[in-house]
């Protein structure tokens, strides 16, 4: 059955909507759409109240006419099959498979899972292969991060991996190109992190020693360039955006990171051709546990990152 494309909707505010902010009204109307997208619709002027643009804090009155632009929202329970080229690309990304686990060298640009406005992610695509009776993510990678992504083929394998991550029985290492010249050798960041939101509804992570969760990262320089430093980063916890926020705390944001750090700081590297965030999970190890042997998975740095490093002038001492 062909899908009906979403259309512009006009909604009349009722008595129960009077006094409610337009952003909160839209969030309810567009259930399943990420808040960040709702605020983009407001900022771009696509949402109108009585024919005029509306700021997020605009309070509605009974009888107001609200124009809601077309937004595709998957119905609850609706399954969206990823395109065949996505399924094949992820098949080509397999770097390890055994009786218990499947590991991919996840390409940048693919979310680990669907939701928050995304029709599908890696896990939904792999399920669409219809090759496994059980398959679940053991952990997640940011959408713009490439590298080792581990999935379990059984509940016991999943619990073993989660236990390893939670109790320090894993070794996770990344390559991160950091903006600026690194002084000295390895540096450790032991700083608690907490999730929060901007006034516009966009989620982000920041340092918070009082209410945050313990987080530790070790940055070790591998190569030094005129405007950047390639580091291997070992993480001893798996917090959201951990490397990105810890590197920013050191004064060296991850190159190409559009979320953290000042935009102008990244300009010299963008001008040299960097088109994505330079963060790649290259190594994962789980300690042996009961019937599970030690697991070691590595993922080569993708060509677009290697080629970019080749363009960078080395630091002359």
Specify the pLDDT at position 3. Answer: 45
Residue with tokens 């902010």: 21
| pLDDT bracket for residue 2 (50, 70, 90) | very low
- Please write down the HEC assignment for all residues of the chain: CCCCCCCCEEEECCHHHCCCEHHHHHHHHCCCCCHHHHHHHHHCCCCEECCEECCCCCECCCCCEEEECCCCCCCCCCCCCCCHHHHHHHHCCEEEECCCEEEEEECCCCCCCCECCECCCHHHHHHHCCCCCCCEECCCCCCCCEEEEEEECCHHHHHHHHHHHHCCCEEEEEEEEEECCCCCCCEEEECCEEEEECCCCCEEEEECCCCCECCEEEEEEEEEECCEEEEEEEECCCCCCHHHHHHHHCCCCECCCCCCCCHHHHHHHHHCCCCCCCEEEEEEEECCECCECCEEEECCCCHHHHHHHHHCCECCC
Residue 272 has pLDDT above 50, yes or no: yes
Give me the catalytic one of 64, 142, 144, 257. Answer: 142
Specify the pLDDT at position 235. Answer: 95
Specify the pLDDT at position 71. Answer: 80
| pLDDT bracket for residue 101 (50, 70, 90) | very high
CA dihedral 70, 71, 76, 78 (to 10 degrees): 90
Residue 123 has pLDDT above 90, yes or no: yes
Percent of all residues in the chain with a pLDDT value above 90, rounded to a whole number: 62
Between residues 19 and 64, which one has the greater pLDDT? Answer: 64
Nearby residues of 113 by Cβ (< 8 Å), 6 or more positions away? 121, 122, 123, 124, 137, 140
Q: What is the pTM of this model?
A: 0.74
Question: What integer best gives the mean pLDDT of the chain?
Answer: 89
Domains of the chain, first to last: 9-68 (3.10.290.10), 84-311 (3.30.2350.10)
Q: Give the least confident one: 79-83, 120-124, 180-184.
A: 79-83
Return left, alpha or beta for 45; rule: phi > 0 is left, psi -120 to 50 is alpha, else beta.
left
* 185 strand-pairing partners: none
Distance CA 261, CA 276 (A): 15
- The stretch 273-288 carries a mean pLDDT of 96
- The stretch 116-138 carries a mean pLDDT of 89
Q: pLDDT tens-digit profile of 6-27?
A: 678 899 988 878 888 999 889 8
Name the burial class of residue 276, with classes exposed (0-12), middle (13-18) and buried (19+) by CB atoms within 10 angstroms of its CB: buried
Q: By the 8 A CB rule, do 153 and 134 touch?
A: yes
Phi, psi of 244 (to 5 degrees): -65, -40
Q: By the 8 A CB rule, do 186 and 221 touch?
A: yes
Taking each helix axis as running N to C, give the angle between helix 35-43 and helix 22-29, from 0 to 180 degrees, rounded to the nearest 10.
130
Residue with tokens 């405007």: 227
- The stretch 270-284 carries a mean pLDDT of 94
Give which of 142, 125, 35 is closest to 80, Cα–Cα.
125
Active site residue 208: no
Specify the pLDDT at position 229. Answer: 96
| pLDDT bracket for residue 32 (50, 70, 90) | low
Specify the pLDDT at position 114. Answer: 80
């Amino acid at each position: 059955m062909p899908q009906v494309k979403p259309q512009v909707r006009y909604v009349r505010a009722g008595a129960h909507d009077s006094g409610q902010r337009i952003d909160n009204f839209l969030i309810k109307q567009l259930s399943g759409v990420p808040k960040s997208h709702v605020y983009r619709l407001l900022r771009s002027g696509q949402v109108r109240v009585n024919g005029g643009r509306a700021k997020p804090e605009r309070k509605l009155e009974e009888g107001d006419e609200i124009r809601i632009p077309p937004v595709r929202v998957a119905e609850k329970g609706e399954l969206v099959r990823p395109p065949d080229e996505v399924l094949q690309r992820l098949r080509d990304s397999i770097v390890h498979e055994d009786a218990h686990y499947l590991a991919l060298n996840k390409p940048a640009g693919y979310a680990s899972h669907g939701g928050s406005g995304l029709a599908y992610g890696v896990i939904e695509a792999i399920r669409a292969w219809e090759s496994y009776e059980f398959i679940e993510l053991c952990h997640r990678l940011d959408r713009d991060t490439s590298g080792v992504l581990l999935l379990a083929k059984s509940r016991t394998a999943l619990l073993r991996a989660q236990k390893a991550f939670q109790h320090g029985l894993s070794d996770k290492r990344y390559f991160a190109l950091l903006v600026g010249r690194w002084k000295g050798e390895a540096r450790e960041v032991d700083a608690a992190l907490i999730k929060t939101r901007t006034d516009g509804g966009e989620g982000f992570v920041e340092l918070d020693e009082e209410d945050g969760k313990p987080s530790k990262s070790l940055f070790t320089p591998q190569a030094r360039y005129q405007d950047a430093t390639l580091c291997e980063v070992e993480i001893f916890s798996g917090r959201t955006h951990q490397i990105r926020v810890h590197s920013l705390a050191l004064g060296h944001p991850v190159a190409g990171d559009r979320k953290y750090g000042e935009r102008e700081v990244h300009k010299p590297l963008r001008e040299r051709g960097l088109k994505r965030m330079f963060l790649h999970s290259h190594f994962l190890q789980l300690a042996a546990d009961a019937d599970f042997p030690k697991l070691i998975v590595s993922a080569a740095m993708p060509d677009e990152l290697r080629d970019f490093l080749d363009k960078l002038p080395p630091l002359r001492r």
